[in-house]
Structure 1
C-alpha cells in the first residue's frame, strides 16, 4: 500500500459515501446503549456524519492514519477468518478510537467498537464488518447527543 494525499482523499470519499450504512448503525448503537444506561441519546443524521468525516479528514495527521486503517480493513481477509480475528478486531478498535478523539472519547470509541461489531454483519472480506463497526463506533462517540457531553464537566477545576 502506498499512502499519498490522493489515496487519503479517496478513502475520505469512500467513508463519506458509506453514510447510508454507517448512520443507521450509529443510531442502532445509540438507541441500544441509551436503553442500557437509561438515557435518551440524540440520533445522528447523514449531514452530521458528513460534517464529522470532513473534520476528521481535515486534520492531516489524523487523516493519514485513518485512511491507512480504512484501506487495510477494506482489503483484510484471512482464510478461515478466525486466525485473522485478532488482527481485524485490533485494527477496528484502533480506528474507532482515532475517530472518536482524545481521552476519554478514545477509550469510549474502543469500547463501543465491540458493541457495534456485535450488531454488524457486512458481506465481503473479514475486515468489512469491523470497518463498518469502527466507523459507527468512532463517529457515534465523536458526535454530540449524549447527555453527559452537553455542558461543562462538574469535575473541571478553574481557579
Structure 2
C-alpha cells in the first residue's frame, strides 16, 4: 500500500460513495442503541454523513490513518475467513475510533463497532474485511455525529481553572 495525497483523496471519495450502504446501517444502529438505552437519537442523512467524511479527511493526520485502515479492510481477505477474524476486528475497531476522535468517543466507537459488526455481513465473494469496513464507518461516524442528547451542551463535569 502506498499512501499519497492523491490516494488519500481517492479513499475519501470511496468512503463518501459508501453512503448508501453505511448510512442505513448507521441509522439502524442508532435506533437499536436508543432502544437499549431508552433515549432518543437523531437520524443522519447521507448529506450529513458526506459532510462529516469531508471534515475527517480535512484533518491530514487523521485522513492518512483513516485512508490506510479503510484500504486495508477493503482489500483484506483470508482463505476461509475465520482465521482472519482477529485482524479484521482489530482494524475495524481502530478505524471506528480514529474516525470518532479522542476519548471518550474513541472508546465508544470501538464498543459500537462490535455491536454493528454483529448486524452486517458481506455478500458472497466480498473480501472478508468489507463488512468490517462498513461496520467501522457506521460506528465511527454515528459516534462522531451529533444527535445524542448527552452530547448536547457542555459537560456538567467541567471544572473551572483555578485562579492562583
TM-score normalised by L of structure 2: 0.96
Counterpart position of 1:141: 143
Q: Which has the larger radius of gyration?
A: 2
CA distance in 2, matches of 1:74, 1:135: 12
In the aligned structure 2, how far is the partner of 1:100 from the partner of 1:9?
19
Runs of 4+ with >4 A deviation:
none
Q: Kindly report the root-mean-square deviation, in angstroms, between the aligned alpha carbons of the 2 structures.
A: 0.6
Map of 2:38 onto structure 1: 38
Deviation at 1:158, TM superposition (A): 1.5
Q: Deviations over 1:26-46 (max 9, x none)?
A: 000000000000000000011
Deviation at 1:122, TM superposition (A): 1.9
Cα distance per residue 1:50-95 (max 9 Å; x no partner): 1110000000000001000111101000011111100000000000
Equivalent residues, number: 159
Q: Does 1:94 align with 2:94?
A: yes
Superposed, which structure 2 residues align to 1:121-132 within 5 Å? Answer: 121-123=121-123, 124-132=126-134
Greater share of helix = 1
Distance 1:118 1:83 in 2: 17
Q: Which runs of 5+ in 1 are unaligned?
A: none
TM-score normalised according to structure 1 size: 0.99
**CA apart distance, 1:121:** 1.1
Match of 1:104 in 2: 104
- In the alignment, structure 2 segments of 5+ residues that lack a partner are none
Q: 2-side partners of 1:121 and 1:82: how far apart? A: 13
